[in-house]
Amino acid sequence: MAERIATIASRVGLHARPASIFAEAAAEQPVEVTIALEGEAPEEALDASSILSLMGLGAEHGTKVVLRAEGDGADAALDALVAILETDHDAE
């Protein structure tokens, strides 16, 4: 299973617009992606393509999250999603 750690860059955290951008990108990936706060058990991970799950995660600016995926294309998918999380979408 591929795994990446990302730091939330958006000033408002993973809420509203940043969560929507991320959920849409996660849904477009060829593999299922999960997200969890750093330090949480893998079993506690949530569906990264669900905006409700993302907003319920409570990830604020500077929070570290763990993305996981398995299968063909998992590494590329996670790399693309990390780039989205580590971009301040509120500055655009």
Which amino acid makes up residue 24? E
- The token duo for 41 is 């058990």
Q: Choose, from 8, 14, 15, 81, the residue flagged as catalytic.
A: 15
User: Of all helices (H) and strands (E), which one includes residue 34?
Assistant: strand 33-37
As a whole number of angstroms, the distance between CA 39 and CA 35 comes to 12
Is 61 in contact with 13 (CB distance < 8 Å)?
A: yes
Is 89 a residue of the active site?
no
The residues that are catalytic are 15
